[in-house]
């Protein structure tokens, strides 16, 4: 989603002033929130601002996802950011069968700090991007919206490792209870490289952002086709909680994909009927 130039410049200036509170050697400030005790970047105007000002981030979604998992669940977080979703969900589930991926070095640093702050150990955390196959890829860190750090193969200032879920998820994980995926338009690439994993996944919680998909050279049509191949249904995670059968994915989602700036949270499931 494009942010107007004046708004971007204003955020950059305010972000720099906020970041000055860290001085030369500061890494983060700590917020005591519903999501946990979290080290956050004061210059970030999305997740960190919500945590610092409201004391929570995406709490209704966290409550929903936490209700779907338990102590025996296996969880994957693709684009774990600083752990604002991972930490409360893992605490609620009391599972340690968790693999988290976060390609941004700055976000990864805070993620590992936040896991320690919340006494969450023995989970696998990887500082890598996800795609169709292993390798290296260019990456851009967004300092004023750190959750929007993303793969940028043409102009990224960082070179980061790239892996696929099919290669890195243990084959002995015969089923995966939940994948949480928010990777700023790289979802289709990650799904291409996760077809064996998706075939044994019960639920996929993912952000559907058609403009971001296009920025990464993918299409809404392929996103929908991949989801329809592996899941029987989806719920639109908003006030409607609309239930959509796989046969209706295209009819419902393709018209929405033409909306400018669309960001839609979807929960794909194996449910044959609405729960």
Q: So what's the pLDDT on residue 26?
A: 72
Q: Give the residue carrying structure tokens 């000055």.
A: 20
* pLDDT tens-digit series, residues 69-121: 999 999 999 999 999 999 999 999 999 999 999 999 999 999 999 999 999 99
**Using N-to-C axis directions, what is the helix angle for 59-66 and 86-93, rounded to 10°?**
30
Q: So what's the pLDDT on residue 27?
A: 80
> What is the average pLDDT across 137-153?
91
- Among 241, 107, 90, CA closest to 180: 90
Both tokens of 71, joined, read 């102590």
User: The dihedral of CA 218, 220, 221, 222: what is its sign?
Assistant: positive
Is the pLDDT at 275 greater than 80? The verdict is no
* pLDDT tens-digit series, residues 49-71: 999 999 999 999 999 999 999 99
Query: Is the CB of residue 56 less than 8 Å from the CB of residue 35?
Result: yes
Q: So what's the pLDDT on residue 5?
A: 58
Both tokens of 190, joined, read 């990650």
- Among 232, 217, 231, CA closest to 272: 232
Q: So what's the pLDDT on residue 117?
A: 97
> What is the average pLDDT across 237-260?
96
* pLDDT tens-digit series, residues 15-33: 554 555 555 667 899 999 9
Instruction: Give all domains of the chain, ordered by start, each with its CATH number.
Output: 56-269 (3.40.50.150)
Q: Using alpha carbons only, what angle is made at residue 141 by residues 188 and 109, rounded to the nearest 5 degrees? A: 100
Q: So what's the pLDDT on residue 6?
A: 56
Both tokens of 218, joined, read 């993918």
pTM score of the predicted model: 0.91
Q: So what's the pLDDT on residue 153?
A: 82
Query: Is the CB of residue 103 less than 8 Å from the CB of residue 139?
Result: yes
> What is the average pLDDT across 33-42?
96
Residues 6+ apart with CB under 8 A from 114: 36, 37, 38, 39, 82, 83, 87
Is the pLDDT at 13 greater than 80? The verdict is no
* pLDDT tens-digit series, residues 105-115: 999 999 999 99
* pLDDT tens-digit series, residues 149-208: 999 988 889 999 999 999 999 999 999 999 999 999 999 999 999 999 999 999 999 999
Q: So what's the pLDDT on residue 143?
A: 87
Is the pLDDT at 43 greater than 90? The verdict is no
């Amino acid at each position: 989603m494009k942010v107007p130039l004046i708004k971007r410049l204003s955020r950059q200036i305010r972000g720099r002033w906020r970041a000055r509170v860290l001085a030369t050697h500061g890494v983060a400030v700590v917020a005591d929130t519903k999501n946990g005790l979290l080290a956050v970047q004061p210059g970030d105007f999305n997740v960190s601002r919500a945590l610092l000002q409201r004391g929570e981030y995406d709490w209704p979604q966290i409550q929903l996802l936490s209700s779907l998992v338990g102590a025996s669940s296996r969880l994957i977080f693709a684009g774990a950011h600083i752990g604002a979703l991972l930490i409360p969900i893992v605490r609620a589930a009391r599972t340690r069968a968790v693999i988290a991926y976060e390609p941004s070095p700055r976000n990864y640093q805070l993620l590992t700090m936040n896991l320690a702050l919340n006494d969450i150990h023995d989970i696998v955390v990887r500082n890598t991007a996800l795609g169709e196959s292993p390798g290296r890829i260019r990456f851009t860190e967004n300092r004023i919206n750190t959750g929007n750090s993303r793969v940028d193969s043409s102009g990224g200032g960082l070179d980061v490792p790239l892996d696929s879920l099919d290669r890195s998820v243990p084959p002995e994980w015969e089923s995966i209870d939940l994948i949480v995926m928010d990777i700023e338009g790289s979802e289709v690439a990650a799904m291409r490289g996760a077809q064996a994993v998706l075939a044994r996944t019960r639920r996929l919680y993912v952000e559907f952002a058609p403009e971001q998909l296009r920025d990464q050279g993918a299409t809404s049509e392929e996103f929908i086709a991949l989801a329809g191949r592996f899941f029987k249904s989806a719920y639109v995670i908003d006030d409607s909680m609309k239930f959509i059968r796989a046969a209706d994915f295209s009819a419902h989602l393709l018209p929405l994909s033409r909306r400018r700036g669309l960001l839609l949270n979807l929960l794909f499931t194996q449910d044959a009927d609405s729960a």
